Structures are given as C-alpha cells and as structure tokens.
Homo-oligomer: A and B are copies of this chain.
C-alpha cells in the first residue's frame, strides 16, 4: 500500500445525515445536512453548516432555532429527498410522510419519526466560504422511549441510525466495543460475561 494525495476535500466519514427541522408547527420545514458535529460537552454545543441559498438558512436566520433529528434506516429515502428538494417548492414534511412534533424547550417542531432529536438555540452565525455555520446550544434531547431499557438506558443500536460516507448512505453494522475497552481489566470482562450468562439463562 501507499498513499496518494488529492487536493483539499471534505472526505470526513462517517457523518450523520441529519434532518434539520425549522419553522413552526403550522409551517414546518426540513433539510438534510451532514455538515454537523459536536463542539463542546459542557455546555453541550453543536453546529450545522448551511448554504445561504437554502430555504432553511432563511428560516433559521430569523428564528435562531433548529432541531437536529437523527433518521433511522426506514427514513433513508426521506433523508435523501430532503437533501435534494427545496422547501420553497414543496412541503417536505407532507411529501415524506413526516410528522411535526412540538419540542419541549423551543418553538421549532421536531420530527416524530426520528429516534433522536436535539433541540438547538443558535448563539452565533459565522460565514466560511460556501457555508454559513450556525453555532448552537443543545438545550434538550428527545428520544423515542421504545429504545429505552427497563433501567432507562438508551440502546442506540436498536435505533438503527443512518450513516453517511462519501456520497452513500449506510446502516451501522457490528458493534466492536465500548469506549475504554482497550484498557479494560480482565476481571471486569469476566464479571460482565458472567452477568450476561446469568441474564441469558433466566
């Protein structure tokens, strides 16, 4: 193997093909954006980068709010469609069979069908070439309760989130390990396996 060098590009992957909802319950809009990420843990800060030509750009610039909704694989077609079509021409919620759901802390509706929604309040808008970056505080996280365990833990694997990489949509595949697994003590691993075995026999 050897590495070849390409000019500058945005080949960062995988990223979340997020459904960014904006507007109101009466007139909701949605667009797909993969240029998003976490900026800080405390306070929880995020961003989404949007081209100034987009209808969502116009709405979010005014309302200073948006919701990052993470689609599952059943929403792959809707996710692609909302990245291609403009809300200026059609009602994408209606075209895609999406349901606007009132958010808990902001006026912008979230998407009911998405397993995870992050309610965001814009703190700053910055221009970087092609895109404007909407930096925002995450002020609430809404999750579908059908993915919660009895103990209240969120099972993200069951949520079947969609991934995006270099122009293609993917499922998430096999779980490889938990954060910290490379330094886990053998005793801890043995204990966890015993617990799992007990669970499986009950």
Contact = CB atoms under 8 A, between A and B. Distances in A.
Contact of A173 (B68, B130, B170, B176): B170
Interface string A168-193: 11111111111111110000000000
B37 A12 contact: yes
Q: How many monomers of this protein are in the complex? A: 2
Given A154-B166, A163-B172, A166-B156, A140 B3 contact: no
Given A6-B141, A40-B130, A118-B12, A168 B178 contact: yes
Given A12-B46, A80-B177, A3 B172 contact: no
A144 interface: yes
Interface in A78-93: 78, 80-81, 83-85
Interface stretch (A19-27, A54-62, A131-139, A194-202): A131-139
B5 A104 contact: yes
Nearest to A34: B38
A11 B116 contact: yes
17 contacts: A1-B146, A3-B112, A5-B140, A12-B118, A14-B15, A14-B161, A34-B38, A35-B38, A45-B129, A45-B131, A77-B182, A84-B182, A85-B183, A157-B170, A168-B178, A169-B178, A170-B174
Given A3-B117, A84-B183, 13 more contacts: A3-B145, A4-B142, A11-B116, A34-B38, A35-B37, A36-B37, A37-B47, A39-B133, A73-B176, A76-B177, A80-B180, A168-B175, A171-B176
